[in-house]
């Protein structure tokens, strides 16, 4: 993917998405029974993947970090040898989490990470899945694409989000 395409994708997101100021929304006031406003909402205490697994709320944790992204990290030199300018990881998450994730995986210099903070990019591509049953909400499907000058040449979408087969780096390397 060329740098100018990345710039176009990330330029002026709030205006492009039609985001409005939160000041136009009604706010809760003193005396309001908070649970009456959000009766079917449950908040989840922040916890690690390991704690989530112990509680039985997360299945097959770490696929992205332990299986998917590493296939690209391990093959970055092969991508460069084939003339690939940029390997990008995009996920439905905020850019701050994406930065921490890249740093944790120690691949920030090899792979560019982008946050699709509200899922609009993935929704536009019809590559979203609902993982609310495991407390993850709307997430990106597990996929990879070989993109040349902004045009998808090959698209690989996993049928099962808990595995890495067709979306692994080796598939893309064979498609280049």
Angle, alpha carbons 162-169-123 (nearest 5°)? 55
Name the token pair of 54. Answer: 């112990």
> Residue 131 has what pLDDT?
83
Q: Which of 64, 102, 110, 169 is catalytic?
A: 64
| Beta-carbon count within 10 A of 53 CB | 15
| 89 assigned to active site | no
Residue by residue, pLDDT tens for the chain (176 residues) are 555 544 544 444 444 444 454 444 567 777 877 777 777 776 666 766 666 656 554 444 578 888 899 999 999 999 999 999 999 999 999 999 999 999 999 999 999 999 999 999 999 999 999 888 777 788 889 999 999 999 999 999 999 888 899 999 999 999 99
For 98-109, how does the pLDDT look when each residue is reduced to its tens digit (9 = 90+)? 999 999 999 999
Q: Quick check: helix, strand or coil at residue 41?
A: coil
Instruction: List residues bridging with 108 in a β-sheet.
Output: none
For 20-39, how does the pLDDT look when each residue is reduced to its tens digit (9 = 90+)? 544 445 677 778 777 777 77
Residue 104: left if φ>0, alpha if ψ -120 to 50, beta else—which one?
A: alpha
Residue 150: left if φ>0, alpha if ψ -120 to 50, beta else—which one?
A: left
| Beta-carbon count within 10 A of 83 CB | 7
Residues 6+ apart with CB under 8 A from 94: 115, 117
Angle, alpha carbons 50-143-107 (nearest 5°)? 60
| Beta-carbon count within 10 A of 57 CB | 15
């Amino acid at each position: 993917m060329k740098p100018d395409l990345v710039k176009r994708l990330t330029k002026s997101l709030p205006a492009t998405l039609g985001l409005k100021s939160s000041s136009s929304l009604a706010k809760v006031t003193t005396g309001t029974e908070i649970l009456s406003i959000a009766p079917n909402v449950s908040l989840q205490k922040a916890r690690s993947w390991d704690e989530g697994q112990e509680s039985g709320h997360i299945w097959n944790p770490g696929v992205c970090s332990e299986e998917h992204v590493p296939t690209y990290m391990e093959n970055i030199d092969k991508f460069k040898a084939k003339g690939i300018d940029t390997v990008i990881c995009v996920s439905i998450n905020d850019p701050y989490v994406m930065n921490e994730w890249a740093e944790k995986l120690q691949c920030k210099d090899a792979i560019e990470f982008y946050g699709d903070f509200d899922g609009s990019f993935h929704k536009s591509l019809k590559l979203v899945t609902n993982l609310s049953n495991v407390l993850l909400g709307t997430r990106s499907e597990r996929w990879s694409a070989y993109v040349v000058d902004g045009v998808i040449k090959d698209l690989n979408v996993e049928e099962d989000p808990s595995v890495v087969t067709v979306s692994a780096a080796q598939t893309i390397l064979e498609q280049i």
